[in-house]
Chain A
Amino acid sequence: MNDLISLNHGSGGKLSRDLIEKVFAKKFSISEPLTDSAILINKGFTLAFTTDSYVVDPIFFPGGNIGKLAVCGTVNDLAVSGAVPKYLSASFIIEEGFPVNDLRTIAESMAAEALLAGVRIVTGDTKVVEKGKCDKLFITTSGIGLLDPDLEHISTAKRIKEGDKLIINGPIGNHAIAVLGAREKLNFNTPVVSDCASLNRLINNVLQQCNKIHFMRDVTRGGLATILNELSGMTRFGIMLNEDSIPVDEPVRGLCELLGFDPLYLANEGKILIAVGAGEETKVLNLLRSDPLGKESEIIGEIVPDKRSSVVLKTTIGGKRIVDLLSGQQLPRIC
């Protein structure tokens, strides 16, 4: 029984990492750090290459749909590696009985998002499976981007230093709560909308104007807590976070309290974590805030010396506690 995949293996936490490291990375002889994109150095040019599958339920949600998500997600994986996203593939697994009109709507929003992000969808595939063999529609997108070799350090965090400041480009948890709300038909008084967006232009702007960006990662599945733990694990430093400065919209916070969720572990689709060298943080913060996708950016913490590489949260009331990797899915509480 222990050897069956459970939903926890897909939650982005400890079990997901174990699955990738023990089942795939080892078999595929991957010894490089597990970053958002593979960095492929060739004679004269460097490529970033990434792939991601999208299985969101429901496929239409406030702020987007599975197609928009599939473009944004892959564009963002390339962009946070420091690359300029260029070409995408899109592969569709469609359940028998799926309305063609819905597929059209999804394709249209993919095209619109690709145009906005400045990428081309150049190849793809479709498979139709019997009813019940998949849930409506699954999409896999892969992407290729060009990487300036001077930016190779961004995905591996090798330039991270004590005192680096950590910035996020806006409130966390909106995507997870928007999707949960649509799935469970929770009628919110204040609508929560997914933050799903392509961040490559925002990121490019920052990279053009600041040469002290030491790390970037999109804050998706597993949430901010997971990304911070991955960052501290890749370096020999700890992270000190300030709970008060982590932006969370009021409706999201309220719902988290109600359901017993921690916003630090909720998925986002339009958020990046940036580590910037000390002294440059105000400049980067202002750059981010001048863009609609970064207008609520905040400095949320910094890199500190710590042999145990702990992520520590200074709580609102002045206590300090460890922020760990999530052990499985977050489940709603009972009462």
Chain B
Amino acid sequence: MKYISEYRNEDLVKKLIALINKSVRRDYTFMEVCGGHTDAIRRFGIPSLLPENIKLISGPGCPICVTGRDFIDKAILYSRMHDAIICTFGDLVRVPGSSSSLEKEKAAGGDIMIVLSALEALEVARTNSKKKIIFLGIGFETTAPGTAVSIEIAQKDNIQNFFLLCAHKIMPPAMETLIKEGTKLDGFICPGHVATITGSDIFNFIAERHKLSCVVSGFEPTDILQSIFMLIQQVNQKKAEVEIQYSRAVTHKGNVIAQKHMSQVFETCDELWRGFGVISDSGLKLRRNYEKYDVEKIMPLNIKFEEEDSLCICGDILRGLKTPDECPLFSIECVPENPTGACMVSNEGACNTWYKYRQYE
């Protein structure tokens, strides 16, 4: 089993499409809330294979896209401190702040390093003891455990020059918010990687309280198509359950060890989501025991942040109210090499994937 080609088998895909075609009885709208799904759906051209009455919309699943502009502005200000090294995941460097981006700051001399993990940033701290290493912690339950472990190791090894600028978020409150605010859906393609950590039970409230179908999906074309088929079945049978399609990675309870590290280091807090505003208990902040690693506590910034450009509709896109092609800036003023909004920046942003993987007509 190579886990790639088998899941991209054209015959299997055709069979799944035939099953889907046979089972559709009405219009369906399903939302994916993971950037990996957004990318895969567009990259493999899945919408072009589906019947017209199935609509797939993207939700707030790309960690870059939902990060508020104020976070970028803060990171930029920290990068201008003479003894700071900013360590960040790659995609974040291109996101425009109010007047600059980390990429532009880097070109202008800012010490900004792209790392693949929080632990790599911790190594940078060990080898640069005279510098302050500020790790930009973003992402959902997938990346938060890694950040938690790096903080625990920093504590244990008494590393004093490692700091966190934290915008980690958790997914369920955002999903609940968009349901409550009236985004019309028949079900969620639930995030496979998040669920690997949290377990699928974390989505039970959506089925129970909000009567929406949920399928935790893998990331290959056959995974996604099977998940869509499972969602259609649920809707047809008027069921609202949480099913696991991605059973090779996801269980009901998830990765208990990773969860333990997360709750050891973090507690929930109110958090700003681009496009949503502040959602209660949707963010993660360091617990009091670890506050000395919180860069905003140790080196507070006193600045006021501006409102965002009103023409960019990233917010509506993230809430599943509009699609990228409905934005007046899309592909005209806002393109990947000169993005207006965050959704055009990230590899997994809705606008970026719509632009990059345009369907050939």
Which residues of A are interface residues toward B (Cβ below 8 A)? 1-2, 4-8, 14-15, 184, 250, 253-254, 257, 259-260, 310, 312, 315-322, 324, 327-328, 331-335
Contacts and interface: CB of A to CB of B under 8 A. Distances in A.
B44 A315 contact: yes
Contact of B138 (A7, A260, A310, A334): A334
Contacts, number: 116
A332 B91 CA distance: 7
30 contacts: A1-B99, A4-B104, A7-B103, A253-B4, A254-B4, A260-B347, A260-B348, A312-B360, A315-B45, A316-B8, A317-B13, A321-B43, A321-B357, A321-B359, A322-B358, A328-B336, A331-B90, A331-B93, A331-B94, A331-B114, A331-B347, A332-B89, A332-B90, A332-B116, A333-B36, A333-B89, A333-B348, A334-B143, A335-B140, A335-B142
Nearest to B49: A319
Given A327-B335, A332-B116, A317 B221 contact: yes
B335 A334 contact: no
Contacts of A1: 99-100, 104, 108
Contact of B139 (A5, A250, A335): A335
A322 B358 CA distance: 6
A317 B347 contact: no
A321 B358 contact: yes
Contact of B143 (A254, A327, A332, A335): A335
B49 A334 contact: no
Interface string B41-60: 01111101100000000000
B13 A332 contact: no
A327 B337 contact: yes
A320 B45 contact: yes
Contacts of A8: 103, 337
Given A321-B359, A328-B337, A332-B116, 7 more contacts: A259-B116, A316-B8, A317-B10, A317-B45, A328-B94, A334-B139, A334-B142
B106 interface: yes
Nearest to A244: B10
B14 interface: yes
A114 to B, nearest CB: 36
B193 interface: yes
Nearest to A256: B4
B107 interface: yes
B221 A5 contact: no
A66 B174 CA distance: 49
A332 B221 contact: no
A330 B45 CA distance: 21
Contacts of A327: 335-337
B130 interface: no
Given A1-B108, A318-B14, A333 B91 contact: yes
